[in-house]
Structure 1
């Protein structure tokens, strides 16, 4: 698709937040009808499965790992609540401080989404305000460098700028980031706008930016150093007339974790166990480094070697699938025609008549396999009239029918590890996920 290597497309184009328009419609219904989730009217999201049960007593107990306290320098608190738009469930966010490189001139931006299936920091120009103008732009042959980043629900467009990035007590010094929405809409290349809707505002994005902390150290890698890919990097003389360009690794939007001076070999996303009926909020911890400090030991029972973008193989109901673990997806997304979809305002979220306990198999790039389990509860019941925003049983069909996207619901009650690809820089560690 769009000239980008398939693995790169899969990593960046899977959903960060499913069907924003659906949830906006749900909120509108709640405002009009005054709540009362589980009913057949718009207060339950307009579901066509108004009889779907929210009784989760038959479900097996989920994982119960508790996050460590976010008090050490290599940690930062992760929050899930009603968020900036007030209608987006399962959006995990952190605070990130952005500085003019090598100075104390900094700005902290809250509500940055944690995304384990993309790579690099992308922050809205509107969230930075006038501060964005203090960050120097990156250039390509004297022209301003811009990027079109493809996601399943649209694209982000904006300049590449250099900055120091601070998360918790860790700092990635003088790395390229993307500032979203700082170029005129008239500059958006056709190859970019063809991807889908622009995600260049907090209302569209559901957050003030995206912190991509997946396994890759850069967001494109070697492919963009040799080929001017149609929907990736652009040279924009005077900020206009943008055309495809190659870009060296040093100028590509960089995963901050891989560029920390210490604790740079991976991350652990720790989300708390929550009720199978959902709850209004949840607070977890993002831990930097694996086996580098007393609070980040490797204690996973299953470990899977991935490709360079964090992808695996999988199987569900006898079908072979592409699989990945993605905190940036707010549901577990897979195709199963035997599960009733909600319809109405909830679209292709699942609304089974009874809660379901399901399983799948993951297979890594070395052929090693392991089983995973997850639950599916009616989205109509889970959302509870718009009062629940932390949901561990939310699922639906979205994106490719050949994908198994283990989104944020899979993370609750688990420590999920992402080992950085250090072999690409001459190290010995190859990328992996574990839990």
Structure 2
């Protein structure tokens, strides 16, 4: 599991304050030019495809790709469809806000270890989630995964943690905190923690046992009971995903629709062309990179709403968007990427990508939610580049699940 600096779902420096600038413009406050919408080819989706929408969502935060997910009490027709669940290619497993799943929540059995219900404290770059682990049948379009362990966020008291200290930063429990009704983690790993949380020392585990849903203490949890990427549990089309988004102009689009296709090379609609750039990743989806003349780690993260990197030559915005860059005119930055190789840092001879960067204050005031040139600062000392949601516009991006543990292919990203 990626914790702290390594579990990078969404550096939501945009936050709700800067999002207000978008909401104000969207409620009649005018807006800049180019408010056109874009759309992918979603009119005739196959059973292994679901529409992905970037729009106002639940909180008006820019660049949040969302899908609809149906969860059911295992083996029953007691179900609820939950809209506005964020598609996150750099986390693993399904997490739903308890308020968004209220219609079916009481019917979802809790996972237990030694007779005690289990919960998880999940650290992201922008904060952490806390809640119980439950089991549900998960349906996305025509695909179904049975008895999937997932996290219900915000259904337990955070004060119930008595050992381990949970995490630091902002506690995210509600759709307002998350910027969505939940997070669908479809990255390259099947589980969110694996052997780290299943074998000693227990102090490395993000899981807790909570007798009576109180007095929670850190605990080891078998991999099969950990929060699981639903894609890995589909009957077919279970070896990866393809996220396809249309290209948009420099002013962005108010609502943009793309497609999430399940499986890689399992059907005609998810074939991996020989012409794509295919990069092997580590178990978390990281690749080697060279940026600003230095060796860094990079990753392709639909769960981050901007490009994030450190560049002291770019001015930050003022006021509520101060974590974003505000150049006086549009600029670009280049990054070289190559397959992950821990022994040889950098991406010598790799593929050069270009990140367009606009003035975030102007972009966030134009009433558009899909922006392909929004970029933000990580602060000094950061040694990675987050190729966030702006990268995905105009691309088919493939993620191959890590199947090396069973003799299959290793994890990869391709575009």
Using the size of structure 1 for normalisation, the TM-score is 0.87
The verdict on how the C-alpha distance between 1:371 and 1:229 changes in structure 2, with shifts beyond 3 A counting, is farther
The verdict on how the C-alpha distance between 1:319 and 1:69 changes in structure 2, with shifts beyond 3 A counting, is farther
> Residue 429 of structure 1: CA displacement?
0.8
Given that 2:72 and 2:104 are in contact with CA atoms closer than 8 Å, whether structure 1 keeps it comes out as: no
> Residue 19 of structure 1: CA displacement?
3.5
Question: Number of matched residues?
Answer: 403
Q: Report the Cα distance in structure 2 between the residues aligned to 1:428 and 1:68, rounded to whole angstroms.
A: 31
Q: Report the Cα distance in structure 2 between the residues aligned to 1:22 and 1:231, rounded to whole angstroms.
A: 33
Residue 362 (1) aligns with residue 337 (2): yes
Q: Report the Cα distance in structure 2 between the residues aligned to 1:411 and 1:91, rounded to whole angstroms.
A: 12
Match of 2:378 in 1: 398
Match of 2:138 in 1: 165
Given that 1:156 and 1:198 are in contact with CA atoms closer than 8 Å, whether structure 2 keeps it comes out as: yes
Q: 1:240 aligns with which of 206, 209, 214?
A: 214
Q: 2:29 aligns with which of 11, 20, 35?
A: 35
Q: Report the Cα distance in structure 2 between the residues aligned to 1:292 and 1:180, rounded to whole angstroms.
A: 33
**The 10-residue stretch of structure 1 (325-334 or 299-308) with the greater mean CA deviation from structure 2:** 299-308
Residue 80 (1) aligns with residue 54 (2): yes
The verdict on how the C-alpha distance between 1:274 and 1:194 changes in structure 2, with shifts beyond 3 A counting, is same
> Residue 185 of structure 1: CA displacement?
3.4
Q: Report the Cα distance in structure 1 between the residues aligned to 2:315 and 2:386, rounded to whole angstroms.
A: 18
Structure 2 unaligned segments of length 5 or more: list them.
none
Given that 1:17 and 1:328 are in contact with CA atoms closer than 8 Å, whether structure 2 keeps it comes out as: no
> Residue 10 of structure 1: CA displacement?
4.5
* Equivalence map 1:57-206=2 (5 Å): 67=41, 69=43, 71-85=45-59, 87-188=60-161, 191=164, 194-206=167-179
Match of 2:316 in 1: 341
Match of 1:305 in 2: 280
Match of 1:377 in 2: 358
Q: 1:263 aligns with which of 231, 237, 250?
A: 237
* Cα RMSD, aligned residues only: 2.4
Given that 1:313 and 1:363 are in contact with CA atoms closer than 8 Å, whether structure 2 keeps it comes out as: yes
Q: 2:404 aligns with which of 397, 403, 423?
A: 423
**The 10-residue stretch of structure 1 (193-202 or 402-411) with the greater mean CA deviation from structure 2:** 193-202
Q: 1:296 aligns with which of 264, 270, 274?
A: 270
Given that 1:37 and 1:381 are in contact with CA atoms closer than 8 Å, whether structure 2 keeps it comes out as: no
Give the SS at the match of 2:390: helix
Q: Report the Cα distance in structure 2 between the residues aligned to 1:190 and 1:275, rounded to whole angstroms.
A: 50
Give the SS at the match of 1:112: strand
Q: Report the Cα distance in structure 2 between the residues aligned to 1:192 and 1:200, rounded to whole angstroms.
A: 17
Q: 2:183 aligns with which of 210, 223, 247?
A: 210
Given that 2:129 and 2:154 are in contact with CA atoms closer than 8 Å, whether structure 1 keeps it comes out as: yes
Using the size of structure 2 for normalisation, the TM-score is 0.91
| Alpha-carbon displacement from aligned partner over 1:258-292 (angstroms, at most 9, x marks no partner) | 11110011100001111111121100000000111
Q: 2:305 aligns with which of 327, 330, 334?
A: 330
Q: 1:279 aligns with which of 248, 253, 262?
A: 253
> Residue 256 of structure 1: CA displacement?
0.5
Q: Report the Cα distance in structure 1 between the residues aligned to 2:39 and 2:84, rounded to whole angstroms.
A: 24
Q: Report the Cα distance in structure 2 between the residues aligned to 1:37 and 1:340, rounded to whole angstroms.
A: 23
**The 10-residue stretch of structure 1 (318-327 or 405-414) with the greater mean CA deviation from structure 2:** 318-327
> Residue 224 of structure 1: CA displacement?
0.8
> Residue 233 of structure 1: CA displacement?
0.2
